[in-house]
């Protein structure tokens, strides 16, 4: 049976890194009987330039119909002055909402070969394996009211709303608790329950679900600012970190640097069982290095691996792709973000060589 993967290369380095993931799919089709058909569509700024819209309705419909979507990156200075609802980023938020991928899994894993690439000392990051479970379709990213109001006399008012329902909290917490079974069983939930009602509700609902259905999970709660500090102080104390949309965005970028480079971190956004997942590197479009062939394709290829695991029914090939990335790093291949001179293509080739 054939499965379908929709590629949305997007902007900046997105097309360059996604091209390497496409090669990995082609290799696995030829060498490992993967049987995944690849489609591609315009997305983000590239779609704005062509159609005026960061994501067309037809692309959203395809994204909901295929087995998995692999996104590259969106945004760039060219579109930074557009109104909010027609920015490249709005296309991504629309896609996440339409696909109802409410749980964003962001593993921050330190590959052995990169233990010295972090700004932290080796002893703090060696063997690091944190999994962020970030709520992705709610919170301040989507809350109403929102907007910029003109108050007259040159005064303006910007509004965003942080809002969570118990259902939104429980369904993402459930994902974290289920994943904890296959790991150390530890979940740390991060919020600001000391100043935000939505944070207090978050803490209460997470605890209630744990007590009712997951008594074996070792649940702790931490204020998000303290979590930010603890992540650089003693990152290995964490296993799963469960948090909301905004704190998850910030804390996962912070944790990325513990692993050596933002260019290494993949993510998987999943919703109800059986629905397609959305896979994306956590890095952005990096306009400063776009078009130079210098971007690190590892995050994209590792995102594809997560797609193989969670949406394409091939966890065995996910393991192989992850091992291939690790082996390429062991062999000393380093893109610029990792302090080397390898091109995007060189890194892709080194990974493909492991998948022959």
Residue 104's SS3 state is strand
Kindly state the smallest distance separating residue 240's Cβ from ligand IPM, in Å: 18
Q: Which does 68 bind (CB under 5 to 8 A by kind): Mg ion, ligand IPM, none?
A: none
Q: Which does 89 bind (CB under 5 to 8 A by kind): ligand IPM, Mg ion, none?
A: ligand IPM
How far is residue 60 CA from its own chain's centroid? 19
To which H or E segment does residue 117 belong?
none
- Check binding of 89 to ligand IPM (CB under 6 A): yes
- Check binding of 92 to ligand IPM (CB under 6 A): yes
Is residue 11 annotated as part of the catalytic site, yes or no?
no
* Region 247-266 residues binding ligand IPM, contact defined as CB under 6 A: 249
Is residue 330 annotated as part of the catalytic site, yes or no?
no
Kindly state the smallest distance separating residue 125's Cβ from ligand IPM, in Å: 21
In the sheet that holds 3-10, the strands lie side by side as 36-40, 3-10, 68-73, 277-279, 268-270, 103-109, 129-135, 240-243, 186-191, 218-223
Cα–Cα distance between 311 and 328 in angstroms, integer?
25
Q: Considering beta carbons, is residue 249 or 329 the nearer one to ligand IPM?
A: 249
**Nearest 5 degrees, angle CA 109-CA 111-CA 117?**
100
Cα–Cα distance between 43 and 228 in angstroms, integer?
32
Catalytic residue among 249, 279, 310, 337: 249
Is residue 141 annotated as part of the catalytic site, yes or no?
yes
Is residue 192 annotated as part of the catalytic site, yes or no?
yes
282, 304, 318, 351: which one contacts ligand IPM (CB under 6 A)? 282
Contact flags string 59-88 toward ligand IPM, x per CB under 6 A: ---------------xx-------------
Kindly state the smallest distance separating residue 251's Cβ from Mg ion, in Å: 10
Contact flags string 249-278 toward Mg ion, x per CB under 5 A: x-----------------------------
Q: Considering beta carbons, is residue 84 or 148 the nearer one to ligand IPM?
A: 84
Beta strands in the chain (DSSP E): 3-10, 36-40, 68-73, 103-109, 129-135, 147-152, 155-159, 186-191, 218-223, 240-243, 268-270, 277-279
Q: Considering beta carbons, is residue 205 or 249 the nearer one to Mg ion?
A: 249
Q: Which does 92 bind (CB under 5 to 8 A by kind): ligand IPM, Mg ion, none?
A: ligand IPM
Catalytic residue among 49, 85, 116, 225: 225
- Check binding of 108 to ligand IPM (CB under 6 A): no
- Check binding of 47 to ligand IPM (CB under 6 A): no
Q: Which does 168 bind (CB under 5 to 8 A by kind): ligand IPM, Mg ion, none?
A: none
Kindly state the smallest distance separating residue 97's Cβ from Mg ion, in Å: 16
Q: Which class for 242: exposed (0-12), middle (13-18), buried (19 or more C-beta within 10 A)?
A: buried
Beta strands in 89-128 (DSSP E): 103-109
Write the DSSP string, 226-290: HHHHHHHH-GGG-SEEEE-HHHHHHHHHHHHHHTT-GGG---EEE-STTSPEEE--SS---TTTT
Angle between helices 14-32 and 315-330 (to 10 degrees): 120
Is residue 225 annotated as part of the catalytic site, yes or no?
yes
Closest residue by Cα to residue 9 from 302, 279, 324, 263: 279
Kindly state the smallest distance separating residue 75's Cβ from ligand IPM, in Å: 6
Q: Which does 67 bind (CB under 5 to 8 A by kind): ligand IPM, Mg ion, none?
A: none
To which H or E segment does residue 144 belong?
none
Q: Considering beta carbons, is residue 249 or 322 the nearer one to ligand IPM?
A: 249
Contact positions vs Mg ion (CB under 5 A): 249
Interface residues with ligand IPM (CB under 6 A) are: 74-75, 89, 92, 249, 282
What residues act catalytically?
A: 141, 192, 225, 249, 253
């Amino acid at each position: 049976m054939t499965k379908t993967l929709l590629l949305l290369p997007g902007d900046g380095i997105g097309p360059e890194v996604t091209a390497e993931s496409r090669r990995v799919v082609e290799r696995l089709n030829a060498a490992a009987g993967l049987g995944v058909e690849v489609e591609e569509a315009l997305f983000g700024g590239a779609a704005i330039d062509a159609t005026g819209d960061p994501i067309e309705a037809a692309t959203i419909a395809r994204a909901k119909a295929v087995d998995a979507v692999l996104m590259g990156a969106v945004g760039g200075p060219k579109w930074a002055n557009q109104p909010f609802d027609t920015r490249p980023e709005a296309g991504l938020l629309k896609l996440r909402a339409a696909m109802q991928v409410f749980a964003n899994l962001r593993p921050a894993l330190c590959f052995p070969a990169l233990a010295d690439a972090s700004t932290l000392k080796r002893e703090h990051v060696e063997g690091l394996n944190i999994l962020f479970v970030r709520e992705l379709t709610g919170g301040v990213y989507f809350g109403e009211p929102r907007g910029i109001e003109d108050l007259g006399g040159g005064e303006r008012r910007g509004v965003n709303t942080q809002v969570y329902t118990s259902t939104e909290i429980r369904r993402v917490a459930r994902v974290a608790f289920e994943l904890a079974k296959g790991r150390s069983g530890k979940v740390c939930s991060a919020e600001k329950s000391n100043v935000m009602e939505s944070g207090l509700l978050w803490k209460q609902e997470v605890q209630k679900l744990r007590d009712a259905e997951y008594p074996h999970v070792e649940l702790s709660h931490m204020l998000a600012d303290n979590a930010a500090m603890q992540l650089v102080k003693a990152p290995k104390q964490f296993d799963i970190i469960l948090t909301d949309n905004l704190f998850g965005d910030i804390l996962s970028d912070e944790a990325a640097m513990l692993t050596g480079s933002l260019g290494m971190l993949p993510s998987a956004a999943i919703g109800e069982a059986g629905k397609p997942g959305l896979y994306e590197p956590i890095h952005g479009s990096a306009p400063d290095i776009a078009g130079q062939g210098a971007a690190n394709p590892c995050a994209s290829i590792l995102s594809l691996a997560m797609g193989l695991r969670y949406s394409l029914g091939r966890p065995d090939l996910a393991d192989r792709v992850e091992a291939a990335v690790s082996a390429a790093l062991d062999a000393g291949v380093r893109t610029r973000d990792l302090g080397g001179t390898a091109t995007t293509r060189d890194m892709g080739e080194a990974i493909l060589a492991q998948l022959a």
